[in-house]
Amino acid sequence: MEEAMIPQQLENAKRLKEFNFYFNDKGQLRHMETNQPFVYKQYSNMSNLNHQWYKAFGTVLAEYVYELLEKECQLKRVYIPFDTAEDGSKSFCFMTEGALTNSSKLIVLLQDRGVMRAGTWSQQLIVHDCLDTGTQIPFIKQAVREQYEVIVLNSNDNFMAIKQDDTEEKKQCDFDQKDHNLKLEQIPKRGFETPEAHAFYIWDHFISKSPEVNVAFIVHGYGGLAFVNLLNERKDVMSKVYAVAFINSAHNADHQNVGQIGRNWIEKKCRNWLLSSKPLDKLVPSVRTGCAQVSAGTENHDLAPSTCLHSIFKYLKKVANVQKTNQFIRSPIVTRSLSKKLKAKKKRK
């Protein structure tokens, strides 16, 4: 199946059409009748109704991206936690088929805080630019090409929407265009009330269970703060994670009370692509994040992941190669004389 044909065959493309929008072959959102870019104001002088309409539209966009992750990137949706019924109280993440069984390389993608759901860097860019800049799909495809397994976190999926009908009975709400005038109540999802809680669950139940996996994190904005919180709270993070690519990270080693061992680890294992007017990868001096900082090649926070994609993968490859070299140097070369000494020790035992 050709990639250009996939969006036309998605079930959620039909839901987008109910809002009179579609994605063209370049991944750009366009109005079905005028073929013009997206406009926020759908109703004149009705700001609340426009807001509710946009929230409903955002829900459909998130589902559209979920479907792209499954059909275009061949990821599987994994519902969590395991100990509850499969309903609206569950959260979920996405992962490649071998993410939990392949002991080689794993990349974990963690987005910024806000309306962004799994597979999305920026809803604004999906709406006003294109799918390539707004979603994590280019990162996932690049990771797969370089033979990484992938886990995509859904760290902002913290609440379920409940609506009340005329009889005051509460029902699960799949918020669509027809529901924009209904009252909603946000109920926290047990165990996933915050991005930090979501990250803890994925680490504890998936990543930490794989004894030999080499993990790299790619994190954007608040995702960097959530990762450093994970680093503080889970001792095995330092031994399992070999590199972190921060993208304009919101973390702060001082404010998050990172100890000296953690600070040393961040300095050695992490790099932050910071918003800057400088060309991509040029050094940007700063002491706030505690690691090397280079320019993301843009001053636009939402656009930063897209501009430094290839730079990030070059960095991860370089760190992995250095790690392999160090392991090789530390491993003793078994010579004939060393072999005799080892055999002699075994006999004495």
pLDDT in tens, 10-20: 888 888 888 88
* Pair type for strands 170-172 and 184-188: unpaired
CB atoms within 10 A of CB 93: 24
- Encode burial over 117-140: b for 16+ CB neighbours within 10 A, e otherwise: bbbbbbbbbbbbbbbebbbbbbbb
Burial class from Cβ neighbours inside 10 Å (0-12, 13-18, 19+) for residue 114 reads: middle
Question: For residue 52, what pLDDT is reported?
Answer: 80
Instruction: Take residue 84 and report the two structure tokens written for it.
Output: 């509850």
Assign 264 a pLDDT band (cuts: 50, 70, 90). Answer: very high
Over residues 216-244, the mean pLDDT reads 97
Quote the mean pLDDT of the chain: 84
Q: What's the CA gap between 138 and 257, in Å, rounded?
A: 34
Per DSSP, the residues of 292-320 read EEEE-S-S-TTTHHHHTHHHHHHHHHHHH
Whole-Å CA distances, 308 to 141, 224, 232 = 15, 16, 27
Other C-beta atoms closer than 10 Å to the C-beta of 193 total 12
Distances (CA, A) of 116 to 44, 89, 170: 27, 19, 26
Q: Which helix (H) or strand (E) holds 32?
A: none
> How far apart are the C-alpha atoms of 336 and 287, rounded to whole Å?
50
CB 253 within 8 Å of CB 226? no
- Tell me what the mean pLDDT of segment 107-127 comes to: 96
**Helix ranges, the chain (H):** 6-9, 11-18, 47-71, 123-128, 131-134, 137-145, 195-205, 222-233, 237-240, 260-269, 304-307, 309-330, 336-348
pLDDT tier for residue 230 given thresholds of 50, 70 and 90 = very high
Residue 73 CB burial class (10 angstroms; 0-12, 13-18, ≥19): buried
Note the pLDDT of residue 10.
80
Q: What is the pLDDT of residue 9?
A: 66
Q: Using alpha carbons, list the distances in angstroms from residue 185 to 90, 171, 173, 201, 301.
A: 17, 10, 9, 25, 31
Has residue 90 got a pLDDT over 80? yes
pLDDT band at 212; cut points 50, 70, 90: confident
pLDDT at 2: 43
pLDDT at 38: 81
CATH class of 73-158+190-330: alpha beta
Separation CA 216–CA 270 (nearest Å): 10
Residue 75 has pLDDT above 70, yes or no: yes
Quick one: pLDDT at residue 102? 75
Terminal C-alpha separation, the chain: 63
* Confidence at 306, pLDDT banded by 50, 70, 90: very high
Cα(197)–Cα(161) distance, integer angstroms: 19
Grouping H, G, I as helix, E, B as strand and the rest as coil, residue 29 is: strand
Nearest to 55 by CA among 187, 196, 182, 198: 182
Instruction: Using the predicted structure, report yes or no on whether residue 211 has a pLDDT greater than 90.
Output: no
pLDDT tens per residue, range 28-51: 999 989 999 887 666 566 667 777
Look at residue 315 and tell me whether its pLDDT is greater than 50. yes
Any idea what DSSP says for residue 332? P
Helix (H, G, I), strand (E, B) or coil at 115: coil
- Is the confidence at residue 269, as pLDDT, over 50? yes
pLDDT of 283 higher than 70: yes
pLDDT value at residue 179: 45
Look at residue 183 in the predicted model and tell me its pLDDT: 52
